[in-house]
Structure 1
Amino acid sequence: MANAFEIDEVASTALGLLSHQAVLGATVYRDAEAEFIGGRGSIVGVRLPKQRTAKDYSGTTEYVDVEEGIAHVKLTDEPTDAAKLGTRDMSLDIRDFGAQVLMPQLDSVSRYIEKNLAGLMNTQSASADAVVIDPAAPLKAIAAASAEFVRREIEPGDRFLAVGPDVYGALLDVEQLQRVDASGDDSMLSRAEIGTLFGFRVIVSPHLTGATAYHKTAFALANRAPNANEGAGKSSSKTFNGYAIRATIDYSADVKSDVSIVDSLCGSSILDPNRMIPFKLKGSQK
């Protein structure tokens, strides 16, 4: 292996690319851990700050312990991208290796993780409880959801409306959709954000059917990176910004070539159903 960079650089670069590629994942509560000894099917505990309730002072101070809430999330999937490397690939510096090898690998892993979370949202949009959006008057249901969030005392910040292509089509002619100034941010989330409506940041995802209005704390996305592979040539397990991956560079006798493998474990869960409202488009079969 003629490359001058270390595997920790590869893993760190990969995590930076992954967090930059996130759309839905960037809008929910994320929990990550490296060097995870479990595997697919494991149940992990996601620690959450517990909401406190003030009480009227009646002459005696009542103390309540500081506690963390625990949400249990099952790691249902193991997204993996394995690439064969030629001699030229292994002679690249870390920047070119990131652009030519890691970026395509992280794009596929990122899309897989996005689909994992989108699948959970789609299940809610397909339920009997989903609110119907009339494509002829799409703002009515969204405005009602915003008012309902106020009634539920959901914080005004970090509210999102994630829409699929069907609902996006119904919103294209809405004049009230105020375009967000991206301020030079070229992240995937910024590029997917089409504006604001009634306090919701509106984002588009091709993986969604229907739409979901939610606060960031309505959903959790758990990422775990398996232990570094001690039998491999080079392997590193790292976390960054709520994501976790394992990067491995090794020689594979099966393909008679050096290989680059990026993998992770992921699962998503509803943290608080009171902090989301799913939608389906009128006339949709899904």
Structure 2
Amino acid sequence: MTTSPSPVWDPSQYLRHEGHRTRPFADLLSRITPATPPARIADLGCGAGNATALLASRWPDARITGYDNSREMLVKAQQYAGENLDFAYAEASTWAPAPASYDLIVSNALLQWVPGHASLIEGWLEGLTPGGTFAFQVPGNFDAPSHTILAGLRESPRWRSRLSGTGDRAAAVLAPADYLSLLTSLGCAADVWETTYLQLLTGEDPVLDWVKGTALRPVLTALADDEEAAAAFTAEYATALREAYPPGPAGTVFPFRRIFAVAVRP
């Protein structure tokens, strides 16, 4: 198996589907109902900052920090910075909030990129004030054609030597019931659910355009020094995606399952 470099993110590509990408966070936010408004909030994996801005709109008096390990995303996020909102570099795998330092920690579509993240949750909970909330959402669509086709291509004879295992996150996300068991075993009152969004995408090769912002990033990063190979892989992937997701009269339906959790510390 190859050693995958950290994916290089393209904020502009990621935000081409901003509405669909932000909707799950808005849905998660609607289920966060603290007894008192949070004074300090951490957004772990803030990306381009557009979702973090929703936190600032919901709780304008809170001190909010968005954390991410992508310099490209953090530069883009600075447009939202203000008196009570800032952004900082952090690796989620090593980020450790001080005990009882936050009233709310949120994470939006990040944890699938953090192998073994389940073992980190207890430490993050310890960073909450009593009665504080930890809330997150992660994709649950790794058995969808968009991902199984990508995995199959990476392991095919043509690409295996360069891409085997690159960006493989299928085992990173737990089943919803396992998240519920974990959070309740840590003493939290937890609400865990899943939703499948039937996203209607438009334009040429819209599913490919979507994955160029997320799932395809590790491959594009691994092939960044070989434009011809990157173009060949992308073309092969695009052909298979067209067959798996044929366009309809109003666009291409791209089902996307997501897993949500809201946990309140005792």
Larger radius of gyration: 1
Greater relative contact order, per chain length (Cα 8 Å cut-off, separation 6+): 1
Compute the TM-score of the two structures, normalised by the length of structure 2: 0.29
**Structure ranking higher in strand proportion:** 1
**Structure ranking higher in helix proportion:** 2
